[in-house]
């Protein structure tokens, strides 16, 4: 059997493995579940991955440009493929081909692995990116191949593309969502949901590293021989009130609400706070090196503002560069975690760490945050970063009830993990029918 994995998360080499840490939680778990479901399958993808990952996880990469290449030809190529597939669908004749069409025709199952980018927000990553992706979906469908939109949080959609978006949605053999709100939001928007099934995110299945090994990188921190409670905090550009998420530098006053939150925790609750980045970057020359990503400068500026204003001996900044496995392991040691990254929150929640999710502070916002919280019966754990009182009240509540929340997660997580696994079993049913 041959499986082709494509979609809006198709990115340049290194981005999936050495960028946003949450992307790695999803990517490793995704491919492992595919192989558990189809042990003998050959898996190909437009996602660009390292040779080490491909060897370990039994994946083969095809060129990224088959899907999207940040080129002025991307849209015209996608339109050509759509036209070829449409004629094939109506006549049974393949009048022309492209490398993408060749790959599709060789495959038994084509999986769209777009996550939360199957919607207009994909255009933040490149011009016409979403409509190119929709045309690719329709090409696959018109060629008569089984096409699945797997583990997504679709939307929002602009009205100009709604007819073809609806056409693509209807013609997926199955759509699985990874949150508790996407299906109802599609229905409210008047879009078809007969083929939509609700599951949970594969990131809940990512294990992380053994903390006893990770401790060696934390010798000079409170985590090495932890003796007092620690609340971990991560924030990123999405949590700031002023867009865009990539804005840099930022004015000191943009951090006022987070400063107020940390002052409440360290002064009123008398608890230590540790700032932790949930993104990395990398250098290729003169040799590969993992470096800090987008989150760290934000956390460093927040830390410096507070220490320069009035030195706080209960506030600490983890300044190391940590792999996804190490990062998840570190999060396991927090007594409470406040995360501005969704999959940072998953790293906490999946280890029964009471976790508060910081919402986006500016548009475009994403429903996935509340959708994940809803599935855990913790819909109220999402806070507004532009409302200091809301953040303080929630932290106060969660700190007082942390043992109760931990027990709730201990009971809920087996069900969440089982749902994540079952979302892949449905593929076997589809292929066998």
pTM for this one?
Answer: 0.96
Residues 6+ apart with CB under 8 A from 244: 237, 362
Q: Which residues pair with 60 in a beta bridge?
A: 44
Tokens of 115: 């996550």
| Alpha carbons 275 and 235: distance in angstroms, whole number | 8
Residue 140 CB: number of other CB atoms within 10 A?
28
Q: Which helix (H) or strand (E) holds 149?
A: strand 146-152
* pLDDT, tens only, 356-410: 999 999 998 889 999 999 999 999 999 999 999 999 999 999 999 999 999 999 9
Cis peptide before 106 (omega within 30 of 0): no
Arithmetic mean of pLDDT, 85-96: 98
Asked whether 106 and 60 are in contact (CB, 8 A), the reply is no
Please name the residue ranges forming H helices in 96-193: 99-106, 129-142, 162-171, 182-188
pLDDT tens digits along 124-168: 999 999 999 999 999 999 999 999 999 999 999 989 999 999 999
**With the C-alpha atoms ordered 322, 328, 333, 338, is the resulting torsion angle positive or negative?**
positive
Q: Which domains does the chain have, with CATH numbers?
A: 2-198 (3.40.50), 211-413 (3.40.50.2000)
Model confidence over 316-357: pLDDT tens digits? 999 999 999 999 999 999 999 999 999 999 999 999 999 999
């Amino acid at each position: 059997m041959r499986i082709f994995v494509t979609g809006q998360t198709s990115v340049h080499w290194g981005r999936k493995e050495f960028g946003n840490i949450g992307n790695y939680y999803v990517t490793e778990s995704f491919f492992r579940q595919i192989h558990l479901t189809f042990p003998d399958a050959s898996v190909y993808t437009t996602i660009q991955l390292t040779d080490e990952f491909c060897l370990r996880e039994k994946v083969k990469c095809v060129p990224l440009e088959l899907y999207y290449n940040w080129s002025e030809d991307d849209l015209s190529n996608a339109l050509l493929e759509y036209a070829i597939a449409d004629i094939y669908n109506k006549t049974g004749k393949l009048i022309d081909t492209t490398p993408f069409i060749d790959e599709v025709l060789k495959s038994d199952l084509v999986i769209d692995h777009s996550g939360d980018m199957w919607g207009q927000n994909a255009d933040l990553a490149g011009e016409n990116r979403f409509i190119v992706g929709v045309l690719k979906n329709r090409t696959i469908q018109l060629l008569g191949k089984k096409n699945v939109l797997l583990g997504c949080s679709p939307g929002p959609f602009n009205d100009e593309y709604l007819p073809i978006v609806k056409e693509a949605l209807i013609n997926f053999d199955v759509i699985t969502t990874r949150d508790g709100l996407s299906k109802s939001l599609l229905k409210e928007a008047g879009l078809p949901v007969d083929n939509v099934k609700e599951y949970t995110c594969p990131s809940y299945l990512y294990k992380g590293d053994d903390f006893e090994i990770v401790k060696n990188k934390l010798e000079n921190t409170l985590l090495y021989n932890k003796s007092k409670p620690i609340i971990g905090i991560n924030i990123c550009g999405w949590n700031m009130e002023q867009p865009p998420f990539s804005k840099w530098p930022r004015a000191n006053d943009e951090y006022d609400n987070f400063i107020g939150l940390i002052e409440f925790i360290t002064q009123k609750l008398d608890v230590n706070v540790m700032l932790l980045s949930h993104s990395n970057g990398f250098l290729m020359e003169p040799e590969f090196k993992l470096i800090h990503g987008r989150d760290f400068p934000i956390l460093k500026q927040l830390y410096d503002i507070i220490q320069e204003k009035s030195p706080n001996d209960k506030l600490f900044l983890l300044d190391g560069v940590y792999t996804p496995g190490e990062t998840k392991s570190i999060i396991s040691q927090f007594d409470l975690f406040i995360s501005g990254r969704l999959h940072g929150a998953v790293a906490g929640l999946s280890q029964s760490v009471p976790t508060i999710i910081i919402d986006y502070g500016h548009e475009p916002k994403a429903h996935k945050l509340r959708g994940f919280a809803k599935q855990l019966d913790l819909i109220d754990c999402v806070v507004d970063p532009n409302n200091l009182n809301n953040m303080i009240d929630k932290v106060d509540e969660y700190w007082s009830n942390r043992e109760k929340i931990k027990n709730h997660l201990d009971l809920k997580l087996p069900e969440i993990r089982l749902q994540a696994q079952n979302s892949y079993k449905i593929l076997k049913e589809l292929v066998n029918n």
